[in-house]
Chains A and B, each alone.
Chain A
Amino acid sequence: MYTLLEMSWEFFKTGLFAVGGGLATLPFLYDMSARMGWFSTNDIANMVAVSESTPGPLGVNMSSYVGFTAMGVLGSMVTTCSLVLPSVICILIIARVLDRFKNAAVVQQIFYGIRPASAALISAAGLQVAKISLLNIKVFQKTGALMKLFNWKMIILAAVVLIAYKKFKFHPIVYILAAGAAGVVIGG
């Protein structure tokens, strides 16, 4: 019981101080592993791999994994709820304040500037994913062969997805699952 409370507190702090998405929680988890010993750094490596290849937000997956490793199902519920609690409180306060001031000129002006910034940050994230999945940076650095820089199989797969997505407006999950199956078949 005491451990659960401790875990809850540690993850609450992580949720409060890790600003800017799932990977921002990573340094907190290393720190936690060193201080509390609930899981090893080896666990963390496995945890990142599992979190990245399962559905759901990264930070949430990682906290569920840690909670489960240390304390089972109850542990994973406690860690995850503690992780999201600060952001829920924070967003509810911000949303309330915004509702009140949303017609103020200055708020409109701030959002006028923020929207392109938001689009830019999301584009950057999309391009990072493209870099990881469509290019072989490491192979290129080792061999220097330009043709090896491109992961042709994945580029073709991405092109097929793009064309299909433009042509048939199925739910995104359809393309994700189909691409996953294609990955198994062609061996990414």
Chain B
Amino acid sequence: MNARSNSELKTTSLNTAETSGSNALKKAGTGSMKNSRSESGEIRPAHKSRPALYLDLFLTFAGIGVSTFGGGYAMLPILQREVCDKRGWATEEELMDYYAIGQCTPGVIAVNTATFVGYRLAGPLGGVFATLGVIFPSIVIICIISAFLKNFAHSAWAIHAFSGIRAAVCVLILDAVVRMGKKSLVDRFCIVIFLAILAASLFLHLSPILYVVLAGALGVLISRVTKRNA
């Protein structure tokens, strides 16, 4: 019964995603889907069939979901390894962009990033499968824990294990950021933007949307004034 309802859920979300995709296509007025794909096609492995690619996305993101402790940011080092290094599905710069967009759009950042990577690799359905992959382990684990281990989170060993995990996670996140910084801080303007927003987000409590929008506007302004070649 569970399996059936799961597949029902899948088909409904697939349908919605498809309609939204084709709506966006109409809005954007692109001539043919194939063209827009081949433009961004440098990351698409041509040797795989679509269903195999969907399965690959689902499994990869399920693996990423299960190894993420502590929210979307903690996913970054794992994404770098699985998506950039191992599979070449996205560059590190693209991951940065996905994170920035994920901050300003509704929903959980991990899901936004998964949808983006899946879409770029295999179209709207790819986005849906990557997303289902990233949420699947959560649903399974949470259902098991809340069914059998109600007090799991308050047990001493869970608290100790998690404080150890957090110590590792902050190291992994900061290492991932250093890696990204090397690619995204390309000149002194970028360094200024980076430091200003880092300070602001540590000491002020404003919405990250504000920072991202502001930084985007600054990017345009600086490029225009310095006539920087993009």
Q: Is the CB of B167 within 8 A of A86?
A: no
Interface of A, secondary structure class, is helix
Cα separation A154 to B217 with both chains bound (whole Å): 40
Answer whether A110 and B107 are a contact pair too, CB < 8 Å, given A64-B139, A99-B40, A188-B164: no
Answer whether A121 and B208 are a contact pair too, CB < 8 Å, given A126-B174, A179-B165: yes
In the complex, A129 has a CB within 8 A of chain B: yes
Q: Is the CB of A121 within 8 A of B71?
A: no
Contact pick for A129, options B9, B173, B212, CB 8 Å = B173
- Nearest CB of chain A from residue B96's CB, rounded to whole Å: 5
Contact pick for A90, options B25, B105, B169, CB 8 Å = B105
Residues on the B chain within 8 Å of A123, using CB: 174, 177, 181, 194, 198
Task: Using CB atoms and an 8 Å cutoff, list the residues of chain B in contact with chain A.
Answer: 2, 5-6, 9, 12-13, 16-17, 20-21, 23-25, 27-28, 30, 36, 39-40, 65-78, 81, 93, 96-97, 99-112, 115-116, 119-120, 124, 127-128, 131, 134-135, 137-139, 141-143, 145-147, 150, 152-154, 157-177, 180-181, 183-186, 190-191, 193-198, 201-202, 207-209, 211-212, 214-220, 222-224, 228, 230
Q: How many of chain A's residues have a CB under 8 angstroms from any CB in B?
A: 104
In the complex, A35 has a CB within 8 A of chain B: no
Answer whether A92 and B164 are a contact pair too, CB < 8 Å, given A19-B106, A65-B146, A171-B81: no
Give A75-134 interface residues, CB cut-off 8 Å to B: 76-78, 80-81, 83-97, 99-100, 102, 105-106, 108-130, 132-134
